[in-house]
């Protein structure tokens, strides 16, 4: 039970499939597909829909199967770890198998080294929420209708809850145009809340800002960010007044996926 996303095979490779493999392009090999095999060709390759190589839990980086992948719940239906051609009892991250990754009510192994689990359900939005960008394959505001615009080519990857948005740390960003509904200066305060997972903490990087739109970090009014000055792994929440007075708080130091960015005034 193996997943090959971009491999090709020799015509004389002598492969005998034992089933439940995912091969993006099996040509020029002409081996016969067995039960459960999914194979593509050069003209019609299969895409397993893999996320970026990243920390998804466990001791090594993995590439998650994203929503819609046909490798989800498509592995050998035998009891995991029962021997023979059954899948291992746990995936590469030590997540026990099987899980019901396609929500059809039947738990079954996924093809490959990553087992998709049931994502935690989102909570009911609190009263007064004006914007919610879930980044589940789109940049829609599922609460208030304020569409985010993506620049630089950020990618959708597996997140803490369903999908998330991954930035390259160079020029990727998401911008939400000005709207009266999200004018944070029009009320008594604001709250910004987000799940973040930073690959390194040695460089201060802005995460969320409210500015005049002329450029990143200009006229910042609300700006959680990672900051080495505050101690590696800490997030800084800074509010800058119109007189340029800065009010700053810090989170506890973290390196894993964390939820430190709830800042209120």
Residue 194 has a pLDDT of: 83
Average of per-residue pLDDT across 163-190 = 81
| pTM, rounded to two decimals | 0.50
DSSP string, 12-54: T------S--EES--TB--PPP-TT-EE--SSS-----EEEEE
Whether residue 20 has pLDDT greater than 90: yes
Using one digit for the tens of pLDDT, what is the confidence trace for 219-258? 343 344 444 455 555 666 766 666 667 666 666 555 444 5
Residue 86 has a pLDDT of: 93
Cα distance between residue 92 and residue 174, in whole Å: 32
Give the best-scoring range by mean pLDDT among 51-55, 61-65, 139-143, 177-181.
61-65
Using one digit for the tens of pLDDT, what is the confidence trace for 107-123? 999 999 999 976 656 66
Q: What is the DSSP letter of 182?
A: G
| Banded pLDDT at 137 (limits 50, 70, 90) | confident
Look-up: residue for tokens 């035998």? 78
Residue 13 has a pLDDT of: 61
In this structure, what token pair is assigned to residue 203?
A: 């460089």
Residue 264 has a pLDDT of: 40
Residue 79 has a pLDDT of: 94
Asked if the bond preceding 247 is cis, omega within 30° of 0, the reply is: no
Residue 217 has a pLDDT of: 46
Average of per-residue pLDDT across 23-33 = 89
Residue 70 has a pLDDT of: 95
Whether residue 75 has pLDDT greater than 50: yes
Choice between 237 and 72, residue whose per-residue pLDDT is larger: 72
Most distant pair of Cα atoms in the chain: their distance = 74
When the pLDDT of each residue in the chain is averaged and rounded to a whole number, the result is 77
Of 134, 152, 154, 153, the residue nearest 144 (C-alpha):
134
């Amino acid at each position: 039970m193996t997943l090959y996303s971009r491999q090709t095979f020799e015509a004389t490779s002598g492969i005998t499939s034992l089933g439940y493999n995912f091969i993006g392009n099996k040509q020029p090999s002409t081996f016969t597909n067995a039960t459960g095999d999914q194979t593509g060709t050069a003209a019609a390759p299969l895409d397993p829909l893999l996320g970026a190589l990243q920390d998804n839990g466990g001791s090594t980086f993995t590439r998650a199967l994203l929503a819609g992948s046909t490798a989800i719940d498509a592995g050998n239906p035998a009891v995991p770890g029962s021997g023979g051609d059954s899948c291992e009892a746990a995936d590469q991250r030590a997540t026990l198998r099987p899980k019901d990754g396609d929500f059809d009510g039947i738990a079954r192994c996924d093809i490959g080294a990553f087992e998709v689990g049931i994502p935690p359900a989102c909570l009911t939005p609190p009263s007064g929420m004006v914007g919610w960008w879930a980044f589940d394959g789109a940049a829609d505001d599922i609460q208030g209708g304020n569409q985010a615009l993506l620049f630089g080519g950020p990618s959708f990857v597996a997140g803490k809850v369903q999908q998330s948005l991954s930035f390259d740390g160079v020029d990727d960003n998401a911008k939400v145009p000005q709207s009266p509904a999200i004018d944070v200066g029009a009320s008594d305060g604001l709250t910004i809340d987000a799940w973040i997972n930073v690959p390194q903490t040695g460089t201060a990087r802005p995460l969320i800002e409210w500015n005049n739109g002329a450029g990143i970090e200009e006229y910042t009014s609300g700006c959680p960010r990672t900051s080495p000055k505050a101690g590696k792994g800490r997030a800084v929440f800074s509010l800058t007044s119109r007189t340029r007075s800065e009010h700053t708080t810090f989170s506890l130091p973290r390196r894993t996926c964390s939820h430190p960015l709830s800042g209120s005034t």
